[in-house]
């Protein structure tokens, strides 16, 4: 197990990352010289704040990467804050400088991913509105590729859904609906049935994810064509 490096070591090792993020150290009791030379190498004011914020961003990224490493080898419920901190190379206290809990960390990951996810649904709007089969198939294929690229996160979300339903709801507690990203498709539905259309789009997203998680026995091309056909029928406006 990795060990934290104590400040002030005689071997020249760097101070722990907590100190770089604003942790306090004891002040020297030695009197300052009467006419100290002007500092020329230590950043101050906005530069110092920027340096600290940059360090915080680096540490936050390390914690997220560390969490994903831990989640790749154990389940979300079994993973501990200590394991995540060790994987990130920081102390437990540093974890809590950035996140309140594992759920808070996972919520941060989902918040970061939200713009890309919403953009994904925006790209599909015209294809669904016009019945462009090739466009919908390409969209489905992109979605399956996204799940594969983020497979650890997908399995973590599945575990949260299975064991912590309230936490899962929290992760997707956003004011933006997928249907908000598909105005062309939504406008093709009668006004009184648009809540149904919005629900169908949510179910379509769930279908893509759950199908990827399951072992379908189909080739990727077969899976793409099947899902594209189901999705198109699911959200097509009533005739």
Would you kindly state where each structural domain of the chain is located, as residue ranges? 47-99, 102-235
* pLDDT at residue 176 in the model: 66
Q: Which of 106, 102, 77 is nearest to 92 (CA)?
A: 102
Integer Cα distance of 239 and 237 in angstroms? 6
pLDDT in tens, the chain (239 residues): 333 233 333 333 333 344 334 443 333 333 444 455 455 555 556 666 688 889 999 999 999 999 999 999 999 999 999 999 999 999 999 999 999 999 999 999 988 998 999 999 999 999 999 999 999 999 999 999 999 999 999 999 888 888 877 776 666 666 568 999 999 999 999 999 999 999 999 999 999 999 998 867 889 999 999 999 999 999 999 88
Integer Cα distance of 122 and 239 in angstroms? 24
* pLDDT at residue 19 in the model: 35
List the structure tokens of 145.
Answer: 């590729």
* pLDDT at residue 160 in the model: 86
Q: CB-based burial of residue 30 (10 Å sphere; 0-12 exposed, 13-18 middle, 19+ buried)? A: exposed
Q: What CATH number belongs to 47-99?
A: 1.10.10.60
List the structure tokens of 152.
Answer: 């650890």
């Amino acid at each position: 197990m990795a060990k934290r490096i104590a400040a002030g070591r005689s071997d020249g090792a760097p101070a722990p990352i907590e100190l770089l993020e604003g942790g306090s150290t004891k002040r020297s009791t030695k009197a300052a010289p009467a006419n100290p030379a002007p500092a020329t190498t230590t950043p101050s004011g906005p530069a110092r704040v920027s340096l600290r914020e940059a360090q915080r961003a680096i540490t936050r990224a390390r914690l997220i990467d560390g969490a994903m490493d831990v989640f790749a080898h154990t389940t979300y419920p079994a993973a501990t804050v200590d394991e995540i901190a060790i994987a990130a190379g920081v102390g437990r206290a540093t974890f809590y400088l950035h996140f309140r809990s594992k759920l808070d960390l996972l919520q941060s990951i989902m918040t970061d991913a939200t713009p890309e996810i919403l953009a994904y649904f925006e790209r599909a709007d015209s294809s669904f509105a016009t019945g462009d089969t090739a466009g919908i198939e390409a969209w489905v294929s992109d979605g399956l590729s996204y799940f594969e690229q983020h497979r650890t996160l997908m399995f973590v979300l599945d575990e949260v859904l299975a064991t912590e339903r309230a936490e899962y709801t929290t992760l997707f507690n956003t004011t933006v609906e997928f249907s908000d990203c598909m105005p062309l498709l939504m406008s093709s539905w009668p006004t009184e049935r648009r809540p149904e259309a919005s629900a169908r789009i949510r179910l379509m997203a769930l279908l893509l994810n759950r199908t990827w998680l399951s072992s379908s026995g189909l080739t990727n091309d077969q899976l793409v064509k099947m899902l594209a056909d189901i999705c198109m029928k699911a959200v097509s406006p009533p005739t």
